[in-house]
Copies of this chain bind each other. A is one copy, B any other.
Amino acid sequence: MTQLDQPLRDGGTQADREADREMVHLAEAGSVGELDHYVSSLSTSEQAYALSHLDEAEIEKVLASMLPEHAAQLIGHLSEMQAAMTIAAVEPDTAASIVRELSSDEMADVIGDLDEDQAEAILNSLPQSEADAARELTAYDDQVAGGLMNRELMRFSDGMSVADVITTLSAEHDRYDEYDIRYGYVCDPVGRLIGVLPMSQLLFVKRSQSVQEIMIRAPLSVSDDLPLDDLVEFFEKHPFLGVPVVDTEGVLKGIVHREAVDYASVRASESDYLKSQGIVGGEELRNMPLWLRSRRRLSWLSVNILLNLGAAAVIAVFQETLQAVIALAVFLPIISDMSGCSGNQAVAVSMRELSLGVIRPTEMFRVWFKELSVGMINGTVLGILVGLCALLFEGNPYLGLVVGFALFANTLVAVSIGGTVPLLLKRLNVDPAVASGPLLTTITDMCGFFLVLGAATALLPKLLPV
């Protein structure tokens, strides 16, 4: 895959590098249609690339020069963080005219990611009714059905005939073209959902029939406060492409599409990857302010300093042994790093199995047993290899024994902790992505240092140079 995409990506570079300049150039030339046309000819990643290479004044210039609906399409293609950063760069009036062209779920995401002041400024520039609707949407948590739903849907009243439906469809063809047009939703006069109308059905019925006769009654729906994981579960059980969202009164509020739920799950796992590597404050893009990037990274690093001091304390306790057999200092980082590698492998498999659902957080013993068996083999192989290196280094078989034994034993510790800690953290409601790594590193370092230095202290007479 990597090989195949290379020519395309690299071949595109020169043109892309000019895309940001070209956008500014067209905006300054004031040729509205041309700018819009140029932007829409770019792929979404070319658009993201170009925007990330403009400063705030240039973003303002470009977006203000585009038709609001085209600017909204551009914003809709960006990742959430970049979309919010881009909207934050333009004047509230311009921003408002763009935001109102976004689909309802995109609008909720973008406004939800802005600072409160910026969000208020934009909402205040919207017509009252639209601002109220936007406030209602952004009030939802973005991890529940209300925050993931789309308000755009085909709504029909329960008194309509098939002919009425077809006339409506025909009249509003352009508008409905953007929607998921496989289903229409039938509501009673107060807006409560009473039926679903498969559009393909319309081909096979008489035009004089009423929608009530052909609709599917009492359709499945979800409550607007249903959390993401329950939505994942819902779409796992039912093969639907979307599900209507209702409030406590049964009033139809919108549709959650399977795609939106899948996308939210992917975003959650991307965020897990970033967290596991120490980007804990959420997304970081390099055109974010320096102090923000630095502060977020430091918050993570400072926790790690404390954990590291704990591991270093073990070495401090054994300073005398270390001074007597200085060769041990050469092997300490190897034991720490190799155990870390073995432990990380176990963490990765547990995280993966948890996300596939093939293990449950309660199955600590099953996982532990499976890891111990791999750890026995791998620990033996690694212990012998590194032990041999230690033997050759000083020509002292006891040094080889101490180092080899410590690595063997610490590999068992590392895979045991690495395999089970994600399950344990999940049960304790701590995000395993954030905490697994540092916990693993600290404990395996402490154990590894203790094992090698403790064993060396016990065998000290044998290890001293003769």
Contacts and interface: CB of A to CB of B under 8 A. Distances in A.
B429 A298 contact: no
Interface in A38-58: 43-46, 48-49, 52
A316 B351 CA distance: 37
A31 interface: no
Interface string A380-395: 0110011001000100
A173 B342 CA distance: 54
A345 B300 contact: yes
Interface string A417-436: 00000000011011100000
A338 B4 contact: no
Contact of A8 (B1, B233, B302, B393): B233
A334 B426 CA distance: 28
Contact of A1 (B46, B228, B342, B351): B228
Nearest to A201: B173
Q: From A77, A327, A341, A385, name the one whose CB has the most chain B CB atoms within 10 angstroms.
A: A341
Nearest to A5: B229
A326 B322 contact: yes
Contacts of A382: 298, 301, 305
A333 B312 contact: yes
A349 interface: yes
A35 to B, nearest CB: 18
B360 A9 contact: yes
Contacts of A430: 2
A336 to B, nearest CB: 6
Contacts of A352: 270, 273-274, 279, 283-284
Contact of A268 (B1, B237, B319): B1
A134 B233 CA distance: 32
A204 B166 CA distance: 8
A200 B183 CA distance: 11
A358 B2 contact: no
**Interface of chain A, main secondary structure:** helix
Contacts of A4: 143, 227-230
Interface string A124-152: 00000000000000000001000000000
A240 to B, nearest CB: 13
B334 A308 contact: yes
A208 interface: no
Chain multiplicity (copies): 2
A378 B273 contact: no
A344 interface: yes
A450 interface: no
Interface stretch (A63-71, A108-116, A369-377): A369-377
Contacts of A338: 301, 304-305, 308
Q: From A48, A202, A203, A309, name the one whose CB has the most chain B CB atoms within 10 angstroms.
A: A203
> Which A-B residue pairs are the 5 nearest by beta carbons?
A45-B357, A5-B229, A277-B348, A4-B227, A52-B358
22 contacts: A1-B227, A8-B229, A44-B237, A45-B356, A45-B357, A266-B266, A274-B352, A278-B348, A279-B352, A285-B356, A297-B374, A298-B378, A298-B381, A301-B341, A311-B333, A311-B334, A312-B334, A316-B330, A319-B327, A323-B323, A333-B445, A337-B445
Interface of A: 1-6, 8-10, 13, 16-17, 43-46, 48-49, 52, 77, 79, 82, 143, 166, 169-170, 173, 181-182, 199-200, 202-204, 227-230, 233, 236-237, 259, 262, 266, 268-270, 273-274, 277-279, 283-286, 290-291, 293-294, 297-298, 300-302, 304-305, 308-309, 311-312, 315-316, 319, 322-323, 326-327, 329-334, 336-338, 341-342, 344-345, 347-349, 351-353, 356-362, 366-367, 370, 373-374, 377-378, 381-382, 385-386, 389, 393, 426-427, 429-431, 441, 445, 449
